[in-house]
């Protein structure tokens, strides 16, 4: 008999089925062993009765420990008393792989769960989070593919930093210094000259020591880059992308959302247009909540929270002071103190989910801006490493814009997770490199 999954067995209740899964719970009551079997689709109670199965089946069920992998056949019946609503009356039971005593029991410290991450991934919560992650990746790709984007693959080992350059992981590349990429943007830019609209979905690395609930040292970064776009067009694309992801999670994955207490209706409210505040307006809104930020200050965690605490949808903050944004962003002709860019802040203080901007596309303007950044920030670009990227401005340059979305940031917000580490299977943080 071919095996079926729990969800299908429930649909076919009454029929004879074979299930394969893992022991989630177990108790014995005289001549009956009750187990809860878990597979990718869910849980079902299994009842093994001593007087209706063979001796082999009975002793296999007796020896089955939590997390043993098992095969059971029998008939599924609706059973109101069962914790799963259905029960499989076993006609045969066999062990696939016995489990040693499982090191994770009910009340465990966060540290232990992180040390045993490879096993904790089997929990109901992590299973739901990992399914949601897979769907968020799928919906993001689906949206961009439909809009005519090409997915491209960037190098991970690079010579030049794309953002501040301050948080680069350095590595040895056959005797030369190399870095793990902090953004694929510069490479995505190179590819718009043939493919026009492209995106990368790849890891970015940030050697950030700060331990917050929003920072990973290795995260997955979605970076679309579009020829002939300005930042207004880019913001419009961003809100439609975010809304597509939220809407599809709500429509297709309601069961999974329940695990996190997230309501489908709340996700369906995330529709364009999103609120758009200039940096100055956002500053005012934050100071109205009792803060004393000055023009030119960056926003911290508590300011972001003040700005978004009561919002149902993300909020754009556009055109930031040039001193706190990277070298590739063009000066705003209407207010030269600012650059043409935007950050998208998630509701309820979940933080920045997207950062994006127009890109300087004229070579003289780029040289001026890089020199200005060197002067005001007291840094020195190693121009040799950027020469190829500057070259793009020499051969038929065009206006363009793009953005970067932190995949774990958007998952953290959509699932309302307390910590970003639960949005990725094997988190890398300053204090965590294993497993
Ligand atoms: O704002 P960032 O640094 O922008 C860039 O890297 C641009 N080059 C993107 C582009 O225009 N192509 O990073 C973009 C996003 C942030 O908004 C945030 O969502 C996420 O990446 N991010 C992080 N996510 C997890 N852990 C970290 N340490 C992150 N740093 C940034
Ligand atoms: Mg940013």
**Residue 163: its pLDDT value, please?**
66
**Residue 84: its pLDDT value, please?**
82
Q: Probe ligand 1: pick from 386, 409, 429, 430, max atoms within 8 Å of CB?
A: 409
CB 310 within 8 A of CB 345: no
Q: What is the 3-state secondary structure (H, E, C) of 164-211?
A: CCCCCEEEEECCEEEEECCCCHHHHHHHHHHHCEEEEEEEEECCCCCC
Cα-Cα-Cα-Cα dihedral sign, residues 123, 129, 135, 138? negative
Question: pTM score, two decimals?
Answer: 0.96
Report the nearest atom of ligand 1 relative to the CA of 162: 8
Whole-number Å distance, alpha carbon 343 to ligand 2 midpoint, is: 6
Instruction: For the chain, state the CA radius of gyration.
Output: 26
**Where in the chain do CATH 2.40.50.140 domains reside?**
3-97
CB 267 within 8 A of CB 337: no
Q: Specify the fold of 117-423.
A: BirA Bifunctional Protein; domain 2 (3.30.930)
CB 400 within 8 A of CB 227: yes
Per-residue pLDDT of the chain (435 residues; tens, 9 = 90+): 899 999 999 998 889 999 999 999 999 999 999 999 999 999 999 999 999 999 999 999 999 999 999 999 999 999 988 888 899 999 999 999 999 999 998 889 999 999 999 999 999 999 999 999 999 999 999 999 999 999 999 999 998 776 666 789 999 999 999 999 999 999 999 999 999 999 999 999 999 887 899 999 999 999 999 999 999 999 999 999 999 999 999 999 998 999 999 999 999 999 999 999 999 999 999 999 999 999 999 999 999 999 999 999 999 999 999 999 999 999 999 999 999 999 999 999 999 999 999 999 999 999 999 999 999 888 888 888 899 999 999 999 999 999 999 999 999 999 999 999 999 999 999 999 999
Report the nearest atom of ligand 1 relative to the CA of 217: 28
φ, ψ of residue 383 to 5 degrees: the values are -60, -30
**Region for residue 416 given its phi and psi (left: phi exceeds 0; alpha: psi -120 to 50; beta: otherwise):** left
User: What CATH code would you report for 3-97?
Assistant: 2.40.50.140
**Residue 165: its pLDDT value, please?**
67
Closest C-alpha to 331, from 358, 296, 305: 358
Q: What residues line ligand 1, using a CB cutoff of 6 Å?
A: 162-163, 183, 185, 206, 208, 215-216, 219, 221, 223, 352-356, 402-406, 408-409
Whole-number Å distance, alpha carbon 291 to ligand 1 midpoint, is: 25
Cα-Cα-Cα-Cα dihedral sign, residues 145, 148, 153, 158? negative
**Where in the chain do CATH 3.30.930.10 domains reside?**
117-423
**Residue 12: its pLDDT value, please?**
86
**Residue 217: its pLDDT value, please?**
96
Say how many CA atoms lie within 13 Å of 396 toward its Cβ. Answer: 7
φ, ψ of residue 413 to 5 degrees: the values are -70, -50
Whole-number Å distance, alpha carbon 216 to ligand 2 midpoint, is: 14
């Amino acid at each position: 008999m071919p095996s079926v999954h729990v969800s299908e067995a429930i649909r076919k209740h009454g029929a004879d089925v074979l299930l394969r899964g893992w022991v989630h719970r177990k108790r014995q009551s005289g001549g009956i062993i009750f187990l809860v079997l878990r597979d990718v689709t869910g849980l079902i109670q299994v009842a093994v009765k001593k007087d209706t199965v063979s001796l082999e089946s009975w002793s296999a069920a007796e020896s089955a420990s939590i997390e043993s992998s098992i095969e059971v056949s029998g008939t599924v019946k609706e059973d109101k008393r069962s914790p799963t609503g259905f029960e499989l009356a076993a006609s045969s039971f066999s062990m696939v792989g016995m489990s040693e005593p499982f090191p994770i029991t009910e009340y465990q410290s966060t540290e232990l769960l992180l040390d045993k991450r490879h096993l904790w991934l089997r929990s109901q919560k992590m299973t739901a989070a990992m399914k949601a992650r897979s769907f968020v990746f799928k919906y993001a790709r689906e949206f961009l593919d439909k809009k005519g984007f090409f997915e491209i693959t960037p190098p991970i080992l690079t010579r030049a930093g794309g953002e501040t350059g301050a948080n680069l992981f350095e590595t040895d590349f056959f005797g030369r210094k190399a870095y793990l990429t902090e953004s694929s943007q510069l490479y995505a830019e190179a590819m718009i000259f043939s493919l026009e609209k492209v995106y990368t979905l790849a890891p970015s690395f940030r050697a950030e020591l700060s331990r917050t609930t929003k920072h990973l040292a290795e995260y997955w970064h979605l970076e679309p880059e579009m020829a002939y776009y300005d930042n207004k067009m880019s913001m419009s694309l961003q809100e439609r992308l975010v809304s597509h992801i939220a809407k599809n999670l709500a429509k297709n994955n309601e069961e999974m959302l329940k695990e996190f207490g997230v309501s489908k209706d709340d996700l369906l409210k995330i529709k364009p247009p999103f609120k758009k505040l200039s940096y100055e307006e956002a500053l005012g809104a934050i100071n109205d909540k009792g803060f004393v930020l000055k023009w030119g200050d960056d926003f911290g965690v508590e300011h972001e929270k003040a700005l978004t605490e009561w919002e149902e949808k993300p909020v754009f903050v556009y055109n930031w002071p040039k001193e706190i944004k990277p070298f590739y962003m063009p000066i705003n002709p209407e207010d030269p103190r600012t650059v043409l860019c935007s950050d998208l802040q998630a509701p309820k203080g979940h933080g920045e989910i997207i950062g994006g901007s127009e890109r300087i596309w004229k070579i003289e303007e780029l040289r001026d801006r890089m020199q200005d950044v060197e002067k005001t920030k007291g840094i020195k670009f190693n121009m040799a490493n950027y020469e190829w990227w500057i070259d793009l401005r020499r051969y038929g340059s065009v206006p363009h814009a793009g953005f970067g979305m932190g995949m774990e940031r958007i998952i953290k917000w959509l699932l309302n997770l307390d910590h970003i580490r639960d949005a990725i299977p094997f988190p890398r943080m300053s204090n965590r490199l294993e497993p």
